[in-house]
Amino acid sequence: MLSRRFTIFAALSLLVCVICGILWARSFWYVDGVFRISEKRGISAFYTNDGISYAMFTPDYVTNWSPGWHRPKRSMNLNVADRFVTHSFMGFQFRLSDPAMHLKLIGIPFWFPTILSFIAPCIWYLRRERARRLRLGLCLSCCRDLQGCKEKCPDCGAPIPAQVVSIIVRPELSSQSD
Ligand SMILES: [Zn+2]
């Protein structure tokens, strides 16, 4: 019922979820990321700040930093939302159509990839739990042992799936044949 491929995908997805969660929490105290300064002193920046992951690209000649890779620091005032963002929605931030400054910016809130990557592990767990209950002949909704029951679960009234019926009927058949 649970293919190996989906299990691997769910495990990787859970790993991504944990990493995003850690970076999300860290982003309120630390800045993770890199700045690349080009030969023409333009900035390409990828960093986290206050729950948001940013990618930002400036035009040339905006900084006097030396070309190469730099580590961003919190003292740089990296919260760009007030200064640069033109569109924002639920933590998503964009700077669109800006002929004067040519600065491009996108901010993705960490809640988005964290929740997205948590979906597959949840589906995996629910499928596994469903398969376990079917295998053991338990009610899918309340987990009651359905041995000797017919059509409906006596506790919660949920209909008994065909797979479970075949399991709970089998012992009677084997005792009749004895
Ligand atoms: Zn039940």
The 10s digit of each residue's pLDDT in 92-134 is 998 876 667 678 899 999 999 999 999 999 999 999 999 999 9
Cα-to-centroid distance, 142 and ligand 1 (Å): 4
- For residues 45 and 101, state if they share a domain: yes
- For residues 83 and 150, state if they share a domain: no
Residue 105's closest CA among 90, 92, 118, 124? 92
Cα-to-centroid distance, 146 and ligand 1 (Å): 8
Cα-to-centroid distance, 144 and ligand 1 (Å): 5
Q: What is the pLDDT of residue 80?
A: 73
- For residues 102 and 62, state if they share a domain: yes
Q: Is residue 151 in a domain?
A: yes
Q: Is residue 100 in a domain?
A: yes
Cα-to-centroid distance, 139 and ligand 1 (Å): 5
Distance CA 68, CA 146 (A): 68
pLDDT tens digits along 137-148:
999 999 999 888
Which phi and psi (to 5°) does residue 7 adopt?
-60, -45
Q: Is residue 11 in a domain?
A: no
Cα-to-centroid distance, 170 and ligand 1 (Å): 20
For residue 92, the one-letter residue type is F
Mean pLDDT across the chain: 87
Last residue of a domain, one of 65, 92, 109: 109
- For residues 150 and 91, state if they share a domain: no
Cα-to-centroid distance, 125 and ligand 1 (Å): 19
pTM reported for the whole predicted model: 0.77
Joined tokens for residue 66 = 């030396």
pLDDT tens digits along 117-127:
999 999 999 99
Cα-to-centroid distance, 151 and ligand 1 (Å): 11
In contact, 151 and 61? CB cutoff 8 Å: no
Q: Is residue 12 in a domain?
A: no
- For residues 101 and 142, state if they share a domain: no
Q: What is the pLDDT of residue 161?
A: 85
- pLDDT band of residue 64 (cuts 50, 70, 90) is confident
In contact, 38 and 60? CB cutoff 8 Å: yes
Domain total of the chain: 2
Q: Is residue 79 in a domain?
A: yes
Q: Is residue 52 in a domain?
A: yes
Q: What is the pLDDT of residue 38?
A: 94
Residues, Cβ < 5 Å to ion ligand 1 = 139, 141-142, 144, 153, 155-156, 158
Domain of 105, in residue numbers: 28-109
